[in-house]
Amino acid sequence: MKLSQTLLFLVLGAATLPAQTPVPDAPKKKRAPAPAEAGAAPVQVVQSNSLVRVNATSQPYSLHLPWQKESPSGRRGLGVILAGNRVLVTGQMVADATYIELELPEKGQKIPAKVVAVDYEANLALLESEPSERQKAFFAGLKPMAVDSSTRIDDQVDILQTGRVGELIKSELKIGKVMTRRYNVEGSGFLVYEANNIVRSEANSFTLPVVKNGKLVGLLLSYDSKNQVTTILPAPIIEHFLKDVADGSYEGFPSLGMEMQTTLDEQFREYLGLKPDAPGVLISLVMKGGSAEKAGMKKGDILVAINGFAIDSRGDYKDPQFGALSSSHLVRGRAYVGDKAEIKVIREGKEVILSSELTRRKPDDFLVLPYLFDKGPRYVLMGGLLFQELSRPYLDAFGEEQRGGAILRLSRIASHPDKYEEEGRKKLVFLSLVLPTPSTQGYDKLGGQVVNKVNGKEIKDLDDLADAFKNAKDTTHVIELNDFPHILFLDTFNAERDNMRLLDGAYRIGSLKRLE
């Protein structure tokens, strides 16, 4: 009875794994403007000499067959010329780029470019072209645009696009709301302007500048043509990025690394011992290795102020420019890595002042990689068993209906990594796929099992795994899994022979591992 139940799960889990290929690199919903809206009233003006077209070719690695790449696809955008002949675009524009070029909107002249700095969390990238005579000539007629952070709610701004021959097309918008929101990868929220109006679309685009009085106030983040809602990556974040790049070493945006809960519920306030009008939010989680933990913040503290700004029971502070805004912006948008932050909490009824040097948790600090661009997923292939480190993009490539079995288990680990981090794991190594070889006979239907030990060695990341495979006892690799069937054996000699065959075989595998 129980038996077939388990086997059924197993078959389902295994079947979903190899069948799945990641979504091709088409622009995701809402990312890019939709086709032209009827009734839009673009206003034609003179050519701008501060904008260049940017054409990028993007080619991500395959997440499920990590030795190969997906098919390349093109992305277009309108970059903004900044000081030093550098061009600002969104991070998405250059993600997994294999070739980037700049194009003059009017003349059509082109020049290759490369990425100087990119931050996929803040969704910003800076491009430049190799200094040369050609480069000098290309930029000769162009003029840098200034960045203006003074935008407020109700300000009128323009989204700029260029037409076929480089003519400038404007869509007018009014900033309606300022808030914080996740951009396009996992992580905390960043500042966002929101506006309502129809945006005419000349072509799908991954970057469109938003200007006011000839100055840059933001880049288009998303346009929802159904609800006519536009979100804009705002100048304060752009300035933060540029300032960070300017000092030579890029640190990124800091975060506190904690989770807070609103205290609007009067019964909850009383339970927490909060006075009816007292400000503050409950700290419900403090992440390992984050700024908050380093400052000594504890779960159960009531956060009442950051850097002198009072935090209300929604977790907002009063921003002098934008009004009520999530307190996360105080750290993420208004401070830099290395800055000191002063945090006031109430602990056991007493006010405690904590102080911390702000840090940023890098993608690699997470058990499950939040995003992965420009490089291939790490993997180890042994005799036909493919091992990978779990990443969000890998999980996201599975549709809702495939969320059962192994994928559900792995997704939950991604959402609740604490237990696995406490075990000392740096990454979550799992058996992702079994290629049919003589060595893997009988294992073909497996996939999605977390690896605990190989040849007696605990596996904390793929480097451990690669090392462990060098130390087989006798002539058998022993692989211990967290899930059914819990233990696998490979013949060392046959696995090596199959490795050699795989290298030149039907799967077109160029390398048995990627550990860089």
Partner 1 sequence: MNIRPLLPFLALALLHSALRAQPVPPPPAANQAIDTASGAWEGIVNIDVSVLVPDYREPWNAGQPSGGSGTGFLIGKNRFLTNAHVVSNATRILIRTTNDPEPHPAKIVHIAHDCDLALIEAEDGSHFDKLKPLDFGGIPQLNTEVIAIGYPIGGDRISVTRGVVSRIDFRPYSHTSVDSHLAIQVDAAINPGNSGGPVLQEGKVVGVAFQGFSGRVAQNVGYMIPVPVIKRFLKDIADGRYDHYVDLAASDFPIENPAQAKALGTTNDGVGVMVGDVEPQGSVGDLLKIGDVILSIDDNPVMNNGLVRFEGELMDMNEIVERKFAGDTIKLKYMRDGKKLEATVTLKRFDPYVRLGAQYNQRPRYIVNAGLVFQPLDRNLMDAHQMRDDTVNYVFDNFLTDKLYVERPEPVVLTNVLPDEVNTWITPYAHSVVDEINGVKIRSLKDVQTALAKKDKPFIEIILLEKNRPVVLKRELAEAAHKRIMKTYNILEDSYLGDE
Task: Catalog residues that contact partner 1 under the rule CB under 8 A.
Answer: 1-9, 259, 261, 264-265, 267-268, 270-271, 282, 284-285, 299, 403-405, 408-409, 411-412, 415-416, 439-443, 476-478, 483-491, 494
Q: What is the closest distance, in whole angstroms, from the C-beta atom of residue 302 to partner 1 in the complex?
A: 12
Task: Give the bridge partners for 409, in sequence order.
Answer: none
Q: What is the closest distance, in whole angstroms, from the C-beta atom of residue 266 to partner 1 in the complex?
A: 8
For partner 1, the closer of residues 219 and 390 by Cβ is 390
For partner 1, the closer of residues 240 and 425 by Cβ is 425
For partner 1, the closer of residues 36 and 478 by Cβ is 478
For partner 1, the closer of residues 17 and 220 by Cβ is 17
Q: What is the closest distance, in whole angstroms, from the C-beta atom of residue 393 to partner 1 in the complex?
A: 18
For partner 1, the closer of residues 31 and 497 by Cβ is 497
Q: What is the closest distance, in whole angstroms, from the C-beta atom of residue 383 to partner 1 in the complex?
A: 9
72 C-beta neighbours (distance < 10 Å), count? 14
What is the 8-class DSSP label of residue 48?
Answer: P
For partner 1, the closer of residues 351 and 489 by Cβ is 489
Q: Is 240 helix (H, G, I), strand (E, B) or coil?
A: helix
Provide the token pair at 456: 């007696």
Residue of 361, 381, 380 lying closest to 371 (CA atoms): 361
Q: What is the closest distance, in whole angstroms, from the C-beta atom of residue 8 to partner 1 in the complex?
A: 7
Residue of 296, 316, 304, 300 lying closest to 256 (CA atoms): 296
Q: What is the closest distance, in whole angstroms, from the C-beta atom of residue 489 to partner 1 in the complex?
A: 4
Residues 210 and 159: beta-carbon distance below 8 Å:
yes
DSSP assignment of 96-114 equals TEEEEEEE-TTT--EEEEE
What is the 8-class DSSP label of residue 61?
Answer: B
Output the CA torsion sign for 73, 50, 31, 124.
positive
Report the DSSP pairing between strands 302-306 and 309-310: antiparallel
Q: What is the closest distance, in whole angstroms, from the C-beta atom of residue 439 to partner 1 in the complex?
A: 7
Write a three-state SS string for 137-170. Answer: HHHHCCCCCCECCCCCCCCEEEEEEECCCCCEEE
Q: What is the closest distance, in whole angstroms, from the C-beta atom of residue 313 to partner 1 in the complex?
A: 11
For partner 1, the closer of residues 152 and 299 by Cβ is 299
Residues 16 and 402: beta-carbon distance below 8 Å:
yes
Report the DSSP pairing between strands 429-434 and 316-319: unpaired
CA–CA dist 482, 464 (Å, integer): 16
For partner 1, the closer of residues 25 and 491 by Cβ is 491
CA–CA dist 390, 63 (Å, integer): 10
